[in-house]
Structure 1
Amino acid sequence: MELSSISTSLFFIILSFLPLLYFLYLHQDPRKQPHAHGLKSYPVVGTLPHFVKNRDRFLEWSTGVVKRSPTHTISFKGLGLTAGAITANPANVEYVLKTHFANYPKEGLISLAEDFLGRGIFSSDDEQWLWQRKAASYEFNKRSLRNFVVDSVRFEVVERLLPLLEQAAGRDGRTLDVQDVLERFAFDNICRVAFDDDPACLTEESMATPQSAEFMRAFDDAQNTILSRFLSPAKSLWRVKRLFNMEPERRMREAINTVHTYTERIVRERREKGGAGLARSDDFLSRFSQTVPWKGKEEASYR
């Protein structure tokens, strides 16, 4: 009986707040509302329901929403979500990342990926970001690096991607998961350009080493976990899950260990080659290593 009366009291208390919430929703400043084409904003929760509903197909869903927007940009704000915007407009990208980068600090977003990315160019601000950007811009403007990128991509296309597609279209007749194929294609290219390592993920399973396959799966797990952290209505819920070793944070811990072990092995092997080995390589790790001396540096600092 007592429990029933408490429940009834709570119900009427919550019910009494509904008119107030509705009033605030109707009279909030429209200039502060996210102008999200295709995203209906709900009272209190904002655009959160859209993110929850499409969390398992976020890339496909967000691409469609952005395409429908006249400005190719959508903004969002919802209960528990960090307010922000998604854009595919080149002018906006240049404005945020170049023209007025200082006005768009990552702040709380850094902690979502710091355990995986460290304090690299994608998860840093201010001076730490600036010197990394200058170093990257300087190297990417060199003809030798551009040629290395072109050669790496050409090899992957001619020797692996096209033969795979031809086999599927011809006598093989098998069905290909295009998203999976393109992810493997991109991953091989990134590894070759970043540290001149070929995981061969686009080749037949028998040709890719177990370590490479595990590395790719771990990298994918880490990315998906970071996305789930960002989409979580409770901003610190992932910290609780990590503390109690719950999914997906348990898988994230294992993925980080796999990725770091793999990359530190590459750095250690490159370090053992010395200056002569670095001079013969055009990948980004070798170029960065020549810019920043090895002495006094641990492998982990180059991840």
Structure 2
Amino acid sequence: MSKKISKIFEPMHNHRYNEILMYTGTLFAIFFLIFFRYFLAKERKKSLPTNYPVLGMMPGLLLNASRIYDYATEVMELSEGTFLFKGPWFSNMDMLVTSDPANVQYILSKNFHNFPKGPEFKKIFDVLGDGIFIADAESWENQRKLIMSLLKNLDFQKSVGESTWSKVKSGLIPILESVSAMGTELDLQEMFQRLTFDCSCVLVLGHDPNSLCLEFPHLPEEKAFTFAEEAVLRRHILPESLWKLQKWLKIGKEGKLSECKEIIDQYLSNCISLKKKSFKEEEDFDLLSSYMRLLAHENAPEISEEVWRDTMLNLLFAGKDTISATLTWFFWLLATNPEEEKKIRQEILENLRMSEVGKWEFSNMNELNGLIRLHGGLCESLRLFPPIGLQHKAPLNPDILPSGHPISPNVKTVLSFYSMGRLESIWGQNCLEFKPERWISETGGIKTEPSFKFIAFNAGPRSCLGKEMSFVQMKIVATAVMNRFHIQVVEDHPVSPRTSVVLQMKHGLKVKVSKK
């Protein structure tokens, strides 16, 4: 009898149990939503991140991950240039973030040897192998000496201007003319990415992928670089255990990053293989050919193809999207500052020799030296939008920064270069304004600033080796475009930085092009 009764009441008990679960779940959801709305509003205000129990300051970071550069700048403004970010408990994610020029000079120059890239940096940037951007100590010194000797080759320096102009003349100008004639919109960032990818491949590998042409071919290797840069910055934000799990499972962005790495490796291996077959001792002046000439000497050390690949990959990374990003931001700044654009156009007309049809044709790099205002405009773009917005270091030994902040080896050091160009304490009240004259001296020449203040090309022993080469390429592109076309940004086009290790535009730069 008791068994029969229990069977009768069993459904009633189950129903009651389900009701309790439903009510409990509803109350929990309401409580969570109320807390989340309060929390969301609190963390998105312009204030220092809250240090929560267990979670640390991670919630504020995740909520602002899509605007990480501006968020870092807000934190730097409120903390007088240096802030200790506390990660979740036991996550090893504590970070000291700084934009203080004195700290930057100390880390990158004065106490350089105590702040190497470190093993954490190598794990985050594993896509770059053991190249110069990852290497430390003797490996880095040897690679830097080798690359410096390659870049100083006079034939290579001459080829920088000639190959860039050739690609501008045969690729970029015809596309802009076609778009102008049709009256269609164009993603200028996409064009500059294709341009600099082709130029970098020609200069580094001696191979032209011809991505910049009217057909707009889809090249997986070109897109793979861009995605890799975005995925790498994401690794700075997420706990290492989480992105490593995704990598192991080959899911999400880490799964796609693995695919991109394979695409890049295959492309570089093919280019190296082709170069070996077609190598001419005295005719080719790309960096890969120069590298092979050095290795051909009797006393040259044995270097594996993997090391070749890493060296070439790092050089491609240095020149590809960094230059295209600067050019994109530069033309957006011109479009939003028409008076400055007029002044730079006038300088081009007054200082450069025009052809019979009134268009400038590149002849040698020396003729670009008189474009002082253009140089200032490019420096302003680099100041406000440095191609590499953040840099990550790791102290070997406990240290105290000039700002008075102590730092231990288990605390990562993040230098916010993006913030440094936007702080009144560094550049004055007009720090957010585009002012090329900021870079013109009283005598009318180019005004220089200390590298630990103007940090676009790094500072100290790791200063960028390709700085002058970059300016030559950017000036050729800017002069050729400004002399022929007027660029107008499409109305209401959203402009903001992409969450990527290279500071590109999140939505590209949609423009309309008209002939001058």
- With structure 2 as the length reference, what TM-score do the two structures score? 0.43
- Deviations along 1:100-147, whole A, 9 cap, x unmatched? 532321111111122x21100011111111111111122222322221
1:159 CA drift (Å): 2.4
1:187 CA drift (Å): 1.6
User: What secondary structure does 1:122 align onto?
Assistant: coil
What residue is the counterpart of 1:113 in the other structure?
Answer: 125
CA contact (8 A) 1:268 1:299 kept: no
CA contact (8 A) 1:161 1:185 kept: yes
Separation in 2 of the partners of 1:86 and 1:202?
Answer: 39
Residues matched between the structures, number: 257
Cα separation, partners in 2 of 1:280 and 1:173, compared to 1, 3 Å: same
1:166 CA drift (Å): 3.1
Separation in 1 of the partners of 2:189 and 2:84?
Answer: 27
1:243 is aligned, of 242, 248, 254, to 248
After TM superposition, the structure 1 = structure 2 runs for residues 237-276 of structure 1, keeping only pairs within 5 Å, are 237-274=242-279
Q: Within the alignment, does 1:283 sit opposite 2:291 as a pair?
A: no
What residue is the counterpart of 2:210 in the other structure?
Answer: 200
Unaligned runs of 5+ in 1: 12-37
User: What secondary structure does 1:205 align onto?
Assistant: coil
Separation in 2 of the partners of 1:296 and 1:126?
Answer: 20
1:133 is aligned, of 133, 144, 149, to 144
Separation in 2 of the partners of 1:88 and 1:179?
Answer: 31
2:48 is aligned, of 17, 29, 40, to 40
Please report the RMSD computed on the Cα atoms of aligned residues, expressed in angstroms.
3.6
Cα separation, partners in 2 of 1:181 and 1:88, compared to 1, 3 Å: farther
1:51 CA drift (Å): 4.5
Amino acid in structure 2 at the alignment position of 1:161:
L
Separation in 1 of the partners of 2:212 and 2:160?
Answer: 17
Cα separation, partners in 2 of 1:165 and 1:100, compared to 1, 3 Å: farther
Cα separation, partners in 2 of 1:164 and 1:39, compared to 1, 3 Å: farther
Rg larger in 1 or in 2?
2
1:76 CA drift (Å): 6.4
Separation in 2 of the partners of 1:252 and 1:224?
Answer: 9
CA contact (8 A) 2:164 2:199 kept: yes
Amino acid in structure 2 at the alignment position of 1:113:
F
CA contact (8 A) 2:130 2:307 kept: no
1:158 CA drift (Å): 2.5
Cα separation, partners in 2 of 1:261 and 1:82, compared to 1, 3 Å: farther
Cα separation, partners in 2 of 1:97 and 1:155, compared to 1, 3 Å: farther
What residue is the counterpart of 2:188 in the other structure?
Answer: 178
Q: Within the alignment, does 1:301 sit opposite 2:307 as a pair?
A: yes
What residue is the counterpart of 1:25 in the other structure?
Answer: none
Amino acid in structure 2 at the alignment position of 1:112:
I
Q: Greater helix share, 1 or 2?
A: 1
Unaligned runs of 5+ in 2: 1-16, 29-45, 310-516
Cα separation, partners in 2 of 1:85 and 1:182, compared to 1, 3 Å: farther
- With structure 1 as the length reference, what TM-score do the two structures score? 0.70
Cα separation, partners in 2 of 1:47 and 1:286, compared to 1, 3 Å: farther
User: What secondary structure does 2:240 align onto?
Assistant: coil
Q: Within the alignment, does 1:122 sit opposite 2:133 as a pair?
A: yes
CA contact (8 A) 1:279 1:286 kept: no
Separation in 2 of the partners of 1:138 and 1:266?
Answer: 22
CA contact (8 A) 2:198 2:209 kept: yes
Moved more, 100-109 or 121-130: 100-109
User: What secondary structure does 1:279 align onto?
Assistant: coil
After TM superposition, the structure 1 = structure 2 runs for residues 80-95 of structure 1, keeping only pairs within 5 Å, are 81=93, 83=95, 85=97
